[in-house]
Structure 1
Amino acid sequence: MPQAATTVAEPTRDSDRSAGSTGSDFAPLLRAVKGQGLLERRTGWYTAGIAANLVALGALLTAMVLLGNTWWTLLLALPLAVVWSRTAFVGHDAGHAQITGDRRVSRTIGLFHANLLLGMNEAWWNDKHVRHHANPNHIDKDPDVGVGALVWTQKQAAQREGFARWLTRNQARLFFPMLLLEGIALKISGFQYLRQQPVRERALSAALLVAHLGLYATLLLTVMSPGKAVVFALVHHALFGLHLGMAFAPNHKGMEMPDPDGDRWGHLQRQVLTSRNVRGAVLTDWFLGGLNYQIEHHLFPSMPRPHLRLAQPLVKAHCEALGMPYAETGLIESYRQALEHMHEVGAPLR
């Protein structure tokens, strides 16, 4: 992946204005956040978290070996999926330079956690995610709302034919079941992206992806019979995809979508109006990997995860002072809103 797309950085131009403003609406907020040190790295926090996650991963792999060729081993698929999701969150934060400002170290962390531990190409993820952050919910620029298995506007829905048309009609009720395939889809997309990478980066990414598959298959086939190994892999990846999907689904689905032909939004408006926060305590923060502070994360992509909660009061007060909507809801309600939007998109086809 080109170096320019390795991380998502904060906007640096005060000329980035929201519609109708006479100056930068974002600049005062940025100064306040910087003044409280919320953009400073928390290397120790991440080091402890990464170490704890690796210990948990090692403990689960040891438990699999000790249990051996029994269906009881299948019970470990759930905690392993949870630990894999923690691993994905680390890769996500590394891609945003939240862990360290050293680009080379960030990429090393990303390659280790994404490519080797998960079999997910960090270059593919970062390229896709950078474009999403630059223009969230923009139908022409955000890959997360492009036409795929699901669609996000009635204009997209009207172009569907055959099986895709049936899928769109029922996409709201099929959304969570389809997330069960996401764990495998992430691997496939990562391999497909290899041909878009520079040759040197492609070789390293491919080697790590292949190493992951080899280590994963060796572990399962050494511990279990082939039949049990296949079942474990399918259940594990299904739960992993579901967990990741549940973390990312509440963030933007059903929120405002910029008019591709309309006025250009400034950074504050573009990130706040298209994002939704999820209320909750420490457990919610842990389960969603800090992505429940989606507004703060989009405004300050390199802000360390533990600082997002601390930045929220500043961001919320700033939006209120400007009269700008600040969307925040409970976890279940966030899913309801996202599913309602998908249901409405498919309405003309029913």
Structure 2
Amino acid sequence: MTNSTAIDDADLPVVPGTGERGSDFARLSRRIAQAGLLDRRPGYYAVRLTLVTAAFVGGWAAFFALGDSWYQMLVAVFLAVVFAQVGLVAHDLAHRQVFRSRRSSEIAGLVAGNLAIGMSYGWWMEKHTRHHANPNHEDHDPDVAPDVLIWSHEQAAESKGLPRFMGKWQAFLFFPLLTLEGFNLHVSSVRALLRPETKHRAVESSLLVVHAVLYLVALFAVLSPGKAVVFLLLHQAVFGVYLGCTFAPNHKGMPMFRGEDKLDFLRRQVLTSRNVRGGHVLDVVLGGLNYQIEHHLFPSMPMPNLRRAQPIVKAYCEELGVDYLESGVISSYAQALRHLHDVGESLRARSTPVPG
């Protein structure tokens, strides 16, 4: 992951007409560093990791204690929320917000991702790194690849097969499709680990196998086959919806780029990102990703510092005249869905019969 740090003034050129040194981002970086917002927060992460681990262990303890009962579906929902929180912890580990060393971050990430929730940490980290480098760039950001959904009018014009079929009504299908996102993470992880060039392939594969075996054995040993299947489907569906709802408001419906479209680092990150307004509860629910602009500018910044960085970044963008978008929770989803529906309009028009 790219680590954003303060830059020494002496290494930067003077910006004509300002008397200040450095790029727009470099000057912002100095303000953030001077406020101490790039400093580690070991106490916060010690508490957070302890609580998430306790919830994970407690959820499985309740599962075994409850036995073969339909009340287990409540446990399935609870564990889905906990799995998503583990995924958010893995996200912070990948950005090296928790530990200074790469090795410690990788070991903890493998435990959280591969072993705990069955997601390849290496595959996700590589994919997410490409997203951070070029958010919403159709040629470089894997999160806007037209694999199932389409994200721009250009993609709609070029679409074929499943994306073309789904694109017509993708705004209505978006949330139902999120129920499959948990399964997609598992399948994509396995596919990635089948590639010989994948790093740490043996370790990652072994941990995924251990996760799958323990998970399935637990379900079918404690529950009747019918309940086990329902538990699995419900657990993975809620897990997928939670994760999808965590990431969906951040970039969907924001400007898209393709080809040789280029912006400087600050504008590339700010103009393609959307913050979601809310209090401390929302910070926990979304894992700090509601401060998407600040996170993209300073990906190694510890999550609790993002709230404190937000007014500094917003005021600086106002100084530069750079659009800085904040929305409420409902509004952020509405904007994303309107964008999806608008992108699919040309496909719907082509499928509408012309009166005779």
Does TM, scored on the shorter chain, surpass 0.5?
yes
In the TM superposition, what is the alpha-carbon distance from 1:75 to its structure 2 partner?
1.3
Q: Is the 8 A contact 1:120 1:209 kept in 2?
A: yes
Partner of 1:10: 4
TM-score w.r.t. the length of structure 2 is: 0.92
Residues 21-76 of structure 1 deviation map (CA, whole Å, 9 limit, x = unaligned): 99511111101111111111112211211111111111111111111011111111
Q: Is the 8 A contact 2:248 2:336 kept in 1?
A: yes
**CA 1:219 to 1:15, structure 2 compared with 1: closer, same or farther past 3 Å?**
farther
Partner of 1:269: 267
- Once the two structures are superposed, the pairs formed by residues 174-323 of structure 1 within 5 Å of their partners are 174-196=173-195, 198=197, 201-262=200-261, 264-323=262-321
Q: Is the 8 A contact 1:8 1:97 kept in 2?
A: no
Q: Is the 8 A contact 1:254 1:341 kept in 2?
A: yes
After alignment, is 121-130 or 190-199 more displaced? 190-199
Q: Is the 8 A contact 1:38 1:311 kept in 2?
A: yes
Residue 50 (structure 2) pairs with residue 63 (structure 1): no
**CA 1:248 to 1:200, structure 2 compared with 1: closer, same or farther past 3 Å?**
closer
In the TM superposition, what is the alpha-carbon distance from 1:77 to its structure 2 partner?
1.2
What is the rounded CA distance, in whole Å, between the counterparts of 2:196 and 2:161 in structure 1? 34
Moved over 4 A (4+): 11-16, 197-200
Residues 121-163 of structure 1 deviation map (CA, whole Å, 9 limit, x = unaligned): 0111001000000000011111111111111111211233354
What is the rounded CA distance, in whole Å, between the counterparts of 2:241 and 2:310 in structure 1? 27
- Secondary structure of the structure 1 residue equivalent to 2:249: coil
What is the rounded CA distance, in whole Å, between the counterparts of 1:196 and 1:312 in structure 2? 40
What is the rounded CA distance, in whole Å, between the counterparts of 1:55 and 1:101 in structure 2? 24
TM-score w.r.t. the length of structure 1 is: 0.93
Partner of 1:117: 116
Q: Is the 8 A contact 2:114 2:207 kept in 1?
A: yes
Count of aligned positions: 341
Residue type of the partner of 2:100? G
In the TM superposition, what is the alpha-carbon distance from 1:12 to its structure 2 partner?
7.5
Partner of 2:169: 170
What is the rounded CA distance, in whole Å, between the counterparts of 2:342 and 2:276 in structure 1? 22
What is the rounded CA distance, in whole Å, between the counterparts of 1:149 and 1:11 in structure 2? 37
Partner of 1:4: none
In the TM superposition, what is the alpha-carbon distance from 1:197 to its structure 2 partner?
5.8
Partner of 1:158: 157
What is the rounded CA distance, in whole Å, between the counterparts of 2:35 and 2:4 in structure 1? 16
What is the rounded CA distance, in whole Å, between the counterparts of 1:141 and 1:164 in structure 2? 18
Query: Identity, % of aligned pairs?
Result: 50
Q: Which runs of 5+ in 1 are unaligned?
A: 1-6
**CA 1:228 to 1:305, structure 2 compared with 1: closer, same or farther past 3 Å?**
same
Q: Is the 8 A contact 1:138 1:257 kept in 2?
A: yes
**CA 1:124 to 1:73, structure 2 compared with 1: closer, same or farther past 3 Å?**
same
Partner of 1:29: 28
Partner of 1:345: 343
Q: Which runs of 5+ in 2 are unaligned?
A: 349-356
- Once the two structures are superposed, the pairs formed by residues 60-99 of structure 1 within 5 Å of their partners are 60-99=59-98
